[in-house]
Structure 1
Amino acid sequence: MLVAAAVCPCPPLLVPEVAAGAAPELDAARTACSAALGVLTAARPDRLVVVGPAGQAGRGPYPEGTRGAFHGFGVDLAVRLGRGGADAPSDRALPPSLAVGAWLLERAGWSAAPVEGLGVGEPLTAERCGEAGQEIGAAAGRVALLVMGDASACRTLKAPGYLDERAAPFDAAVARALGTADVAALRALDARLAYELKASGRAPWQVLAGAAEDAGLTGALLYEDAPYGVGYVVATWS
């Protein structure tokens, strides 16, 4: 049964070593993520699943102990998913979104429950995402989710996807749905529009919607902004 969820953005820039001189610009987002993880700890889960967007090669489950790194961003920094479990083979590294999630957990000193990861293919349909979430929500024991993903990347002229007038309304709808734990609204997100706006969080958010279908959780919006023209949202469901 799903007892709590935290929604966080997944840009590698959340990691100060990656952001370097720009690190202070995301301090508010980091603070909100820490508060969101506190909600997960307070829920006393038996199991934590970190869900995040992944490319074709990064899909599927990741057991506790799987390692990730930020070498591709010019930083000699490695992370590990959870504190238990044996190290996974080196050829099965965490995708960037789950590496950021692992970093957030390490930063918070997470020890409340075993951790596993789930990389979700960004093209996955809403129906398939919902089914994956339902499997998580139907599992025995108290389950919590850490859901990683960004909103649109088209909020300004300098954004990675350039300016798109549809981006701000899309992000506002996402923030509203995540902040109110609106399962139906998340299910209804337009996958094509999300793709066109480069919103990597669409599939993970719809996994959350499936997991929370019968959980009766209440949402709270902790942070919503668009630094660098990319929409970042932090929310909790409990």
Structure 2
Amino acid sequence: MPEVAAGAAPELDAARAACRDALGVLVAARPDLLVVLGPAGERGCGSFPQGTPGSFRGFGVDLEVCLGHATGVVPERELPLSLAVGAWLLERVGWADAPVEGLGVGETLGPGRCTEVGRQIGGRAGRVALLVMGDGSACRSVKAPGYLDERAAPFDAEIARALGAADAAAVRALDTGLARELKVSGRAPWQVLAGAAETADLTGTLLYEEAPYGVGYLVATWS
């Protein structure tokens, strides 16, 4: 997000361009329901209705977002950071085509439960789209949040391969313990995606894969 990155914003121009391309796929899909999901701490924060606000005040930035269009209902809580970033992305493309909901996923949620949640989401409407947020490892360099771990790059490479191939089985098989050790925030949200897509026969495209600041960033589409 340029507003947060400030002077360092150009370093992630390619990542933002990939995100715009991915959002273009979502818009073109014309779903009946869009669910934005992402990591939300150890236990997760549950569901967030359309119109839920979010902010980036925690980064010292006076920037607020809204999940979809405002509904006039005052939600009980704000979006967690991952969903606030998702809402920011949707605002960039002027999303207004379908109802939007948010789901905060607990980062310790097991693969079986993630798959079950995904199946439930997939059955919510005739055409359901997901905007799935989450980082790869945070251990790709000595300056990374988790310092350098030699296991991180191979783990991220397998994530990139699985997401780029829309390989739901491989995503479900990601090592939960290793993901936790490598500070992979996206493991549970990706496995929810795999549950939602397990019978959909989708094709994947990997749009971006880098490790700025020692954190694995990936952008992919399944369609």
Report the RMSD for the aligned CA atoms in angstroms.
1.1
Residues 160-171 of structure 1: pairs in structure 2 closer than 5 A: 160-171=145-156
Structure 1 residue runs of 5 or longer lacking an equivalent are: 1-14
Give the distance between the partners of 2:156 and 2:74, measured in 1 at CA. 36
Q: How much has 1:58 moved relative to structure 2?
A: 4.8
1:175 has 2:176 as partner: no
TM-superposed deviation, 1:69? 0.3
Which residue is 1:35 aligned to?
21
1:81 and 2:48 equivalent? no
Distance 1:228 1:134, change over 3 A: same
Task: Give 1:203 deviation, angstroms.
Answer: 0.2
Task: Return the alpha-carbon distance in structure 2 between the equivalents of residues 41 and 83 of structure 1.
Answer: 15
Question: Could you say which structure has the greater relative contact order, defined with CA pairs below 8 angstroms and 6 or more residues apart?
Answer: 1
Alignment equivalent of 1:112, drawn from 97, 103, 109: 97
Q: CA deviation at 1:86?
A: 3.1
Residue 88 of structure 1 and its aligned partner are, at CA, apart by 3.4
1:152 aligns with: 137
Q: Structure 1 CA distance, aligned partners of 2:74 and 2:184?
A: 29
**DSSP-derived class of the 1:144 partner:** strand
Distance in 2, Cα, partners of 1:88 & 1:166: 44
| 1:141 aligns to 2:126 (yes or no) | yes
2:37, 2:132 within 8 Å by CA — same for their partners in 1? yes
- The two structures have a TM-score, normalised by structure 1, of 0.91
Residue of structure 2 equivalent to 1:217 = 202
Aligned counterpart for 2:50 among listed residues 52, 64, 69: 64
Distance in 1, matches of 2:71 and 2:202, equals 30
> For 1:84 and 1:77, how far apart are their aligned partners in 2?
16
TM-score with structure 2 length normalisation? 0.97
Identity of aligned residues (%): 74
The residue aligned with 2:183 is 198
Q: Displaced runs of 4+ in structure 1, greater than 3 A?
A: none
User: 1:234 and 1:152 mapped to 2: Cα distance?
Assistant: 14
Distance 1:221 1:187, change over 3 A: same
Offset of residue 56 of structure 1: 4.8
Assess if the C-alpha contact under 8 Å between 2:43 and 2:108 holds in 1: no
Distance 1:174 1:144, change over 3 A: same
1:55 alignment counterpart: 41
Distance in 2 (CA, whole Å) between partners of 1:35 and 1:234 is 9
Q: Secondary structure at the match of 1:221?
A: strand
Structure 2 unaligned regions, length at least 5: none
| SS across alignment from 2:120 | helix
Partner Cα separation in structure 1 for residue 163 and residue 184 of structure 2: 14
Contact kept? 1:134, 1:211, Cα under 8 Å: yes
- Kindly state the Cα deviation for residue 114 of structure 1 after the two structures are TM-superposed: 1.2
Report the 3-state secondary structure (helix = DSSP H, G, I; strand = E; otherwise coil) of the residue aligned with 1:159.
coil
Deviation, structure 1 residue 84: 4.4
